[in-house]
Structure 1
Amino acid sequence: MKAINSNIKSNTTETSESLIKISIATTPEEKKEVYHFRYQTYVEEMSKHLEDIDYDQQLLWDELDEWTILLYAKIDCKIIATARVNIGNIKDFPAKVVNILSLKTFESYYPENEDPKFAYVTKLMVAPSYRRTPMLYLLIAQCYQICCNNQVQFAFGGCNFHLVRLYEQMGFHHYGKNFVYPGYGLLTPIVLVINDIHHLRQVRSPLFRIARKRGKVNTQSVERFHEKFTRHASIVNSQLVTEEELWSILCKVLECLPTEAISLLRELSETEAKKFLHSCGIVVQCDTGDIITNQGDISYSYNILLSGKLQSLTFLNPVKEYISGQHFGANGLTEHNKNTEDIAAITPTQILVLSGMAFPRFFHSQPNIAHKIVQTMRSLTNKLVNM
């Protein structure tokens, strides 16, 4: 594998507490500190059951850490965020990663005389008290800069459905088939097309302020990507669809007004419902066999069946059926409850995911609508408890 340019500029931002400093972990001591931060986030906070956990030392690491650029952010002596970037050719990545991200398809998008290097951005996490700050942007901006420095044209990752909106705000696309990664549940592949400066501007990505300074870039791979994944695909990008377009899509799939089919919207006017759905929702495609909720996992979204069929794999007698417009799984919008059952798609399925990550910002900007949502949620919960 060729040498990787891991130089990053010193990056700090004022906070109410101190200064954030982003660095690359190079010493065994620094890496161990990052691995422990991962353990605290995924195991202690999120209760994830992952492979490659050292429970004795409370560390989380795997084979990709042996050749990664390991970023971490600190305030004074405390780690508050981390991410890693693996850059290499297809042969450098595990076969499983190559398959789930469809890297061989993307290899053909590079010019014939160009070395097709890919970036795989994973283990990106921010401490709870900094998740509503610019910390995530600062971290992704460093990943983006590293990709630019190394002539990478595609940076890949995977995320749970409730995070898709967040990554699309940064400029990522979700594409292709969902996949299961042990301990993380059902993920959708995402990709940042590094040279697609037009898209970064179009979605108002904070990365555009970096991208616009790059000058003229090769857009051949950009055109090939859009021809394959966006121009003729049915994927709905939350940052490109308008309120009216999303409403029209939902009306068509549900065959009625969303306010009639979805109980959570019953106290909202059509105008309020449009604003809420556009601010917090995303339409996601699932394939037959996708297990959408896992028993015992914390929910960070409120999921609604739009089309297709779902089945509980936990409660089989009698078989639990879901109808279009019905909520399934635990409430992860206004609270973070644990799912009580495994629910799978038994046909190709469309679901509306209302993100618990987006709701706090919506609550701040639209408190009157948000209060109605919270009250309706309480009413629905009480009704279920008393049944």
Structure 2
Amino acid sequence: MTNVVSLSDKSITIGIATTPQEKKEIFRFRYHIYAKEIGHRLASVDHRKEMLCDELDEFGLLLNVKTGTNLIGTVRVNIGRVEDFPPNLAQNFLLDRFQTFSADVDNLFGYASKGMISPDFRHSAAHFLLATTIYELYCENRIQFGFLNCNSYLLPFHEHYGYRRYTRNWVDPDYGLQIPLVLLIDDIAYLQTVNSPILNVAYNRTAPNDQTRKWFYREFPEAAKVISNRAVAEDAYWAYLSKCLQHSPHKAIPVLHGIPEPAAKRFVHSCGAILKCHTGEPIITCRDSGNELNILLAGRLETSDGTYILPGQFFGEVGLVNRTKHTSNVFASTDVEILVLSFQYFKKFSYTYPDISRKILQNLAATGSLRSETSSSF
């Protein structure tokens, strides 16, 4: 499989790594991005080899994205039955419950992981090309459900492509808090709702089918309660924040002070994800990579030094502009809802609304929370 897409005077190609040399190149690329650039802990990795691989690589399709001979991106796609996946992964995604969708069929599931693009190409067509290739692989293998997990700051990105939340988060010792997501392959209506970039590809590869969606919401009724900025309008999103805070976000969140309410609405809707976590869940672990601004909306959080965080307050290191390292542990002492503002989307927002962005940064600077180091957008 090789796809090509134009990129100015260059081209991006995508294929499947088949030789040991191609696979080692991908393992080294992963390590460079995750360990050296982003700074994930990677506690279970042999750092001497500077390669990142695991058991899923044994039956995964390793997609490589290149310009010429230069590797600029990769993702791993695993296609298999429930028993093909590691037990902890199958349990985290509740694959046994998805198996009941077609109990008389030997269901195959898709799982995309270790997806990354090098910094110079993160605003190119590479993301779209990878996403469409994954979708096409799922269609070719008659997969109904495709899964992935991500850090909270990447929620707006994946939800834009049509992925949905449906179950509890988990903590990975290497990558921190992980949110499980599922893509219903033939739910064309939902792809339309979120204006997914893969919508046109979906029209050409599968027929609209609302039976999958109906089953999904019956099996996972909590999924229908998830508020995604991609699926609801700006005013509805603001109204939900107001309900959580029991006050206008414009007044309850200090980061928004001094910003006109219409501009504040636009900011949180453009950059935010509302994340639910349960009592006892670790939200931030010391030395996690910070790529977001976290604001508590409802419930109560506690830090490792015994400090309580209350609704409207932000917590953790501020990674809205620069990558940071969190310096303390934060866990949910009650069920909580958190507004996660993604630095990836804040950068885009800043291009269009520089005055609003400048005021937000001034509010953060007044707290002494901004760091001066730079980083590339992921």
TM over 0.5: yes
Q: Which amino acid aligns with 1:191?
A: V
CA–CA distance in structure 1, aligned partners of residues 324 and 83 of structure 2: 41
CA–CA distance in structure 2, aligned partners of residues 283 and 230 of structure 1: 17
Q: Tell me the equivalent position of 2:361.
A: 374
Q: Which amino acid aligns with 1:283?
A: I
Q: Tell me the equivalent position of 2:279.
A: 288
Pair 1:323–1:240, CA change in 2 (3 A): same
Shift of 1:334: 2.0
Q: 1:257-294: per-residue Cα shift (whole Å, max 9, x none)?
A: 11211111002011110000100111110011211112
> Is 1:28 the counterpart of 2:15 in the alignment?
no
Of 154, 157, 160, the residue aligned with 1:166 is 157
- Please say if residues 40 and 175 of structure 2, whose CA atoms lie closer than 8 Å, have aligned partners that are also in contact: yes
Q: Tell me the equivalent position of 1:4.
A: none
Q: 1:362-381: per-residue Cα shift (whole Å, max 9, x none)?
A: 11122221121122222222
CA–CA distance in structure 1, aligned partners of residues 156 and 220 of structure 2: 18
CA–CA distance in structure 1, aligned partners of residues 350 and 255 of structure 2: 15
CA–CA distance in structure 2, aligned partners of residues 190 and 379 of structure 1: 36
> Is 1:126 the counterpart of 2:109 in the alignment?
no
CA–CA distance in structure 2, aligned partners of residues 121 and 86 of structure 1: 7
Shift of 1:246: 1.1
Q: Tell me the equivalent position of 2:3.
A: 11
Q: 1:323-345: per-residue Cα shift (whole Å, max 9, x none)?
A: 11001001111222211101000
| Equivalent position SS for 2:132 | helix
- Please say if residues 52 and 61 of structure 1, whose CA atoms lie closer than 8 Å, have aligned partners that are also in contact: no
CA–CA distance in structure 1, aligned partners of residues 44 and 318 of structure 2: 30
> Is 1:357 the counterpart of 2:344 in the alignment?
yes
- Please say if residues 164 and 174 of structure 1, whose CA atoms lie closer than 8 Å, have aligned partners that are also in contact: no
Of 322, 328, 333, the residue aligned with 2:309 is 322
Pair 1:295–1:17, CA change in 2 (3 A): farther
Q: Tell me the equivalent position of 2:180.
A: 189
Unaligned runs of 5+ residues in structure 1 are 1-7
Q: Tell me the equivalent position of 2:376.
A: none
| Equivalent position SS for 1:13 | strand
Q: 1:334-362: per-residue Cα shift (whole Å, max 9, x none)?
A: 22221110100011111111111111111
What RMSD, in angstroms, separates the aligned Cα atoms of the two structures?
Answer: 1.8
- Please say if residues 50 and 183 of structure 1, whose CA atoms lie closer than 8 Å, have aligned partners that are also in contact: yes
Of 129, 135, 139, the residue aligned with 1:138 is 129
Q: Tell me the equivalent position of 2:94.
A: 102
| Same amino acid, percent of matched pairs | 37
Shift of 1:51: 5.2
CA–CA distance in structure 2, aligned partners of residues 58 and 69 of structure 1: 21
CA–CA distance in structure 2, aligned partners of residues 330 and 56 of structure 1: 29
| Equivalent position SS for 1:125 | strand
Q: Which amino acid aligns with 1:287?
A: H
Q: Which amino acid aligns with 1:188?
A: I
- Please say if residues 52 and 62 of structure 1, whose CA atoms lie closer than 8 Å, have aligned partners that are also in contact: no
Q: Tell me the equivalent position of 1:58.
A: 50
Pair 1:328–1:283, CA change in 2 (3 A): same
Q: 1:180-224: per-residue Cα shift (whole Å, max 9, x none)?
A: 122110111001111111111221111111111135355433320
Equivalences, count: 371
Q: Tell me the equivalent position of 2:261.
A: 270
> Is 1:198 the counterpart of 2:213 in the alignment?
no
CA–CA distance in structure 2, aligned partners of residues 231 and 268 of structure 1: 34
| Equivalent position SS for 2:230 | coil
Shift of 1:16: 4.0
Q: Tell me the equivalent position of 1:37.
A: 29
Of 340, 347, 352, the residue aligned with 2:334 is 347
Pair 1:377–1:16, CA change in 2 (3 A): farther
CA–CA distance in structure 2, aligned partners of residues 217 and 254 of structure 1: 38
Shift of 1:234: 2.3
| Equivalent position SS for 1:58 | coil
With the length of structure 1 as denominator, give the TM-score of the two structures.
0.92
Pair 1:295–1:51, CA change in 2 (3 A): closer
Of 239, 244, 249, the residue aligned with 1:253 is 244
| Equivalent position SS for 1:53 | coil
> Is 1:73 the counterpart of 2:65 in the alignment?
yes
CA–CA distance in structure 2, aligned partners of residues 380 and 16 of structure 1: 43
> Is 1:221 the counterpart of 2:212 in the alignment?
yes
- Please say if residues 66 and 72 of structure 2, whose CA atoms lie closer than 8 Å, have aligned partners that are also in contact: yes
- Please say if residues 307 and 349 of structure 1, whose CA atoms lie closer than 8 Å, have aligned partners that are also in contact: yes
- Please say if residues 167 and 223 of structure 2, whose CA atoms lie closer than 8 Å, have aligned partners that are also in contact: no
Unaligned runs of 5+ residues in structure 2 are 372-378
Q: Which amino acid aligns with 1:107?
A: Q
Q: 1:11-62: per-residue Cα shift (whole Å, max 9, x none)?
A: 2222246211101001000000000000100111122222553323311100
Shift of 1:158: 0.5
With the length of structure 2 as denominator, give the TM-score of the two structures.
0.94
